[in-house]
Amino acid sequence: MRACLKSKALLVVIGAMVAVLVLGTSAFGQCSMCRAALAGSNNALFIRNFNIGVLVLLVPPVTIFCSIFVALKRYKATDDAQQSEKNLEQKADKR
């Protein structure tokens, strides 16, 4: 049962990644203000540094999201371990 759920979750993640890649637009200047600032500049160094700055600004939200995900995963693992321990105790008490 768990293997089936894991494979379904994996398929959903792969499908979402494909959709993002196929439907996604260019990452150069997503908002209209950024696009206007980049279009007005012919300086390749400015455009490169601007794109690096956007990537740097992505680091904190991604770090926060991943930290929350890891914390929830660990909490679920400890909860599953406690639940299985209780089930073993209940089976032992029935005997």
| Whether residue 81 has pLDDT greater than 70 | yes
- Which residue's structure tokens are 């679920």? 76
Give the length of the chain.
95
User: Is residue 92 classed as helix, strand or coil in its secondary structure?
Assistant: helix
| Whether residue 1 has pLDDT greater than 60 | no
Question: Between the CA atoms of 9, 14, 17 and 21, what dihedral angle is there, to the nearest 10 degrees?
Answer: -160
Question: CA 71, 77, 78: angle at the middle one, nearest 5?
Answer: 90
Looking at per-residue pLDDT, the higher value among 29 and 34 belongs to 34
Looking at per-residue pLDDT, the higher value among 73 and 17 belongs to 73
The boundaries of the domain holding residue 32 are 2-94
Q: What is the pTM of this model?
A: 0.46
| Whether residue 56 has pLDDT greater than 70 | yes
Domains in the chain: how many in total?
A: 1
Question: CA 36, 41, 45: angle at the middle one, nearest 5?
Answer: 125
Give the pLDDT of residue 29. 47
